C-alpha cells in the first residue's frame, strides 16, 4: 500500500482524538438511537470526519512484542444550520435484528482493536524518537569530550624543562661528590696499607736486629770462654819458659868449674832441643787453633752477613713488588668503583625511564580500554537500534496489513454490497432528510442514525451513501497520513544511526 505524502502532527492527532469522543461515536453506540420521528428500536452507527490514531508499544518477557491497537474511530456529523442531527437508519429488510447488531458490534470491536494497536504503535514511535534523541545527545557529548580529551602539554613542558636541567645538574654534582668521597676513601685505604707495610718492614728489621744481637751475644760468650783458655795457655807458656830458663841457668852453673872428663858413653837426649821442639809444636798448635777459631768466626760472620743481605734484598724486593701491586690494585679498585658508580647511575636512570614509560604505557592502556569500552557500548547501541529498526520495519509491514484491513472495513461500511459480504446481507442505507445529508456530505460532523426500511426513500439512499463515503474517505486519509508519519518517524532512528 502506498502511503500519502501528507504528514499529520501530534496536534492534529490530539484534535482528532478530542473529536472522536463526540456523543455520536462508537463509545456512545445506541445512546441516540431514538429519533424524533418515532423510532422505537434501532442501532446508531457513527462515522466521524476525524480519525483518532495512536501508536503504542509493549515489551514482554520474550524480548519485546509489539501490541498495537486502533482506538475508537468515531465521528459526528452536524448540520451547518442549527445543530440538528441528521439521521440515517439501518433497518433489517430481511433477517433478524439481532444478527445485524452482532455484525455491527463485531465490526466495532475489530476497529477498536485496530485503533488500540495503532495508538500503542504511535506511543512506541514517540518513545523511540525520545530514546534516539537521547542517544544522539550522548553521542554528541561523547564526541565533544573525546575531542577535548587531548590536552596541550607544551606549557607544562616549558615549565618542566628548567626543572629537568636543574635535576640533571644536581645528579651530576651528586655523582661528582660521590666519586670524590670514593677517591678519598681509596686514598685513605692506600695510606693505611702503606702504613701497615712500613710497620711490617720496621718490625721485620727490628726482628733481624734482635737476631743479630743474639748472635753477637753468642759470639761474645764464646769469645769470653776462649779468652781465659788463651790466657791460661799464655801463662803456662810463660811458666814453661821461665822453668826452662831456670833449668838452663842451673845447668850452666853446674858446668862452670868442673873438670871435663871425656867419658865415652852413650849419647843422651838433648833436653833443650826437645823442649824447643815441644815449644815450637805447642806454639804451632796454639797458632793453628787461633787461626782456626778466627777463620771460623770470620766465616760465620760472613755467612750471617750474606744471609742478612739476602734476606734484606728479598725483603726490599718483595716490599717494592708488594707496593707496586698494591698501587696497581688500588688504581684498578678506583677504576672499578668509578665504573660501578657510573653503572649504578645508569641503572637508576634506566629504572626511572622504565618507570616513566611504564606509567605512560599504563595510562595509554587505560585510555585504550576506556575507548574500547565506549566503542563496545556504541556498537551495542547501534546493534540495539538496528534491531529496533528491524522490529519497526516488521511492525510497519504488519501495520500496512492492518491499515488495509481497516480501509477494507471502512470501504465496506460505505457500500451495502460490501456490508453484505461482511455478514450483513439484509442492511440498506436510507436517508430521512436529504438536505441535511447534503451538508453532511460537505464534511460537517454529526451522528448518523439507522431508521427502519419503511422510512427510507430511494433518493436519500444515494445521499446517505455519499455522506458515508465522504466520512470514510476522510477517516482513511487521516489514517494513511498517521501511518506515513509513524513509518517516517520510526525510520528516523535508523537513518540517524
Helix/strand/coil for 91: strand
Please state, as a whole number, how many other Cβ atoms lie within 10 Å of the Cβ of residue 312.
13
φ/ψ of 325, rounded to 5, equals: -65, -40
| Lowest-confidence pick of 212-221, 278-287, 297-306, 405-414 | 405-414
Residue 469 scores a pLDDT above 50: no
Beta bridge partners of 77: 446
Q: What is the pLDDT of residue 263?
A: 54
Task: Find the radius of gyration of the CA atoms of the chain.
Answer: 74
DSSP codes joined into one string, 233-250: HHHHHHHHHHHHHHHHHH
Q: Which helix (H) or strand (E) holds 92?
A: strand 90-92
Asked if residue 495 lies in contact with residue 16, where contact means CB atoms within 8 angstroms, the answer is: no
Compute the C-alpha angle 450/42/87, nearest 5°.
30
DSSP 77: B
CA 136 from centroid of its chain's CA atoms:
29
Beta pairing class for 427-429 and 90-92: antiparallel
Maximum mean pLDDT: which of 18-32, 105-119, 147-161: 105-119
Q: What Cα–Cα distance (Å) separates residue 201 from each residue in 3, 187, 213, 229, 310?
A: 122, 21, 18, 42, 15
Q: What is the pLDDT of residue 413?
A: 67
Residue 38 scores a pLDDT above 50: no
pLDDT band at 100 (very low <50, low <70, confident <90, very high): low
DSSP codes joined into one string, 16-44: HHHHHTSTTSGGGTTTT---TT---S---
Asked if residue 49 lies in contact with residue 75, where contact means CB atoms within 8 angstroms, the answer is: yes
Q: What is the mean pLDDT of residues 410-436?
A: 45
75 CB contacts (<8 Å, ≥6 apart)?
Answer: 19, 20, 22, 24, 25, 46, 47, 48, 49, 50, 51, 445, 471, 474, 475
Beta bridge partners of 85: 78
Cell of 67: 501490541
Q: What is the mean pLDDT of residues 243-262?
A: 74
Maximum mean pLDDT: which of 22-26, 109-113, 170-174: 170-174
Helix/strand/coil for 70: strand
Kindly report, residue by residue over 170-179, the tens digit of the pLDDT: 999 999 999 9
CA distance 48 to 26: 10
CA distance 477 to 73: 13
Cell of 66: 509489539
Q: What is the mean pLDDT of residues 391-401?
A: 90
Q: What is the pLDDT of residue 455?
A: 40
Asked if residue 432 lies in contact with residue 460, where contact means CB atoms within 8 angstroms, the answer is: yes
Instruction: Name the residue among 27, 53, 83, 107 with its Cα closest to residue 445.
Output: 83
pLDDT band at 184 (very low <50, low <70, confident <90, very high): very high
Maximum mean pLDDT: which of 409-418, 426-435, 479-488: 409-418
Amino acid at each position: 500500500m502506498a502511503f500519502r505524502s501528507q504528514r499529520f502532527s501530534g496536534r492534529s492527532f490530539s484534535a482528532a482524538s478530542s473529536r472522536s469522543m463526540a456523543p455520536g461515536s462508537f463509545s456512545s453506540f445506541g445512546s441516540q438511537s431514538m429519533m424524533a420521528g418515532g423510532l422505537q428500536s434501532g442501532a446508531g452507527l457513527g462515522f466521524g470526519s476525524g480519525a483518532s490514531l495512536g501508536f503504542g508499544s509493549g515489551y514482554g518477557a520474550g524480548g519485546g512484542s509489539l501490541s498495537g491497537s486502533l482506538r475508537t474511530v468515531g465521528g459526528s456529523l452536524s448540520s451547518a444550520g442549527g445543530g440538528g442531527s441528521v439521521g440515517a437508519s439501518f433497518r433489517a429488510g430481511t433477517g433478524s435484528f439481532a444478527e445485524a447488531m452482532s455484525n455491527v458490534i463485531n465490526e466495532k470491536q475489530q476497529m477498536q482493536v485496530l485503533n488500540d494497536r495503532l495508538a500503542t504503535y504511535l506511543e512506541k514511535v514517540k518513545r523511540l524518537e525520545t530514546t534516539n534523541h537521547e542517544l544522539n545527545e550522548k553521542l554528541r557529548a561523547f564526541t565533544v569530550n573525546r575531542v577535548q580529551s587531548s590536552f596541550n602539554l607544551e606549557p607544562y613542558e616549558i615549565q618542566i624543562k628548567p626543572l629537568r636541567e636543574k635535576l640533571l645538574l644536581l645528579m651530576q654534582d651528586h655523582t661528582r661528590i660521590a666519586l670524590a668521597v670514593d677517591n678519598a676513601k681509596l686514598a685513605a685505604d692506600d695510606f693505611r696499607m702503606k702504613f701497615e707495610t712500613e710497620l711490617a718492614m720496621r718490625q721485620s728489621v727490628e726482628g733481624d736486629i734482635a737476631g743479630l744481637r743474639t748472635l753477637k751475644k753468642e759470639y761474645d760468650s764464646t769469645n769470653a770462654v776462649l779468652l781465659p783458655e788463651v790466657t791460661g795457655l799464655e801463662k803456662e807458656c810463660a811458666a814453661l819458659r821461665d822453668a826452662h830458663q831456670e833449668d838452663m841457668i842451673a845447668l850452666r852453673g853446674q858446668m862452670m868449674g868442673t873438670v871435663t872428663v871425656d867419658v865415652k858413653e852413650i849419647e843422651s837426649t838433648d833436653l833443650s832441643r826437645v823442649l824447643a821442639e815441644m815449644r815450637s809444636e805447642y806454639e804451632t798448635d796454639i797458632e793453628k787453633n787461633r787461626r782456626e777459631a778466627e777463620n771460623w768466626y770470620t766465616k760465620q760472620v760472613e755467612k750471617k752477613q750474606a744471609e742478612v743481605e739476602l734476606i734484606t734484598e728479598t725483603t726490599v724486593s718483595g716490599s717494592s713488588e708488594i707496593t707496586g701491586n698494591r698501587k696497581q690494585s688500588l688504581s684498578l679498585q678506583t677504576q672499578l668503583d668509578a665504573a660501578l658508580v657510573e653503572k649504578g647511575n645508569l641503572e637508576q636512570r634506566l629504572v626511572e625511564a622504565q618507570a616513566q614509560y611504564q606509567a605512560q604505557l599504563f595510562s595509554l592502556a587505560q585510555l585504550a580500554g576506556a575507548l574500547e569500552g565506549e566503542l563496545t557500548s556504541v556498537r551495542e547501541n547501534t546493534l540495539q537500534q538496528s534491531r529496533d529498526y528491524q522490529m519497526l520495519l516488521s511492525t510497519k509491514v504488519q501495520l500496512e496489513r492492518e491499515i488495509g484491513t481497516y480501509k477494507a472495513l471502512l470501504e465496506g461500511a460505505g457500500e451495502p454490497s460490501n456490508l453484505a459480504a461482511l455478514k450483513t446481507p439484509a442492511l440498506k442505507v436510507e436517508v430521512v432528510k436529504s438536505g441535511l445529508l447534503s451538508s453532511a456530505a460537505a464534511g460537517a460532523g454529526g451522528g448518523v442514525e439507522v431508521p427502519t426500511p419503511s422510512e427510507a426513500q430511494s433518493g436519500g439512499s444515494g445521499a446517505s451513501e455519499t455522506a458515508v463515503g465522504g466520512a470514510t474517505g476522510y477517516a482513511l486519509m487521516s489514517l494513511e497520513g498517521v501511518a506515513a508519519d509513524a513509518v517516517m518517524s520510526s525510520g528516523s532512528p535508523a537513518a540517524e544511526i
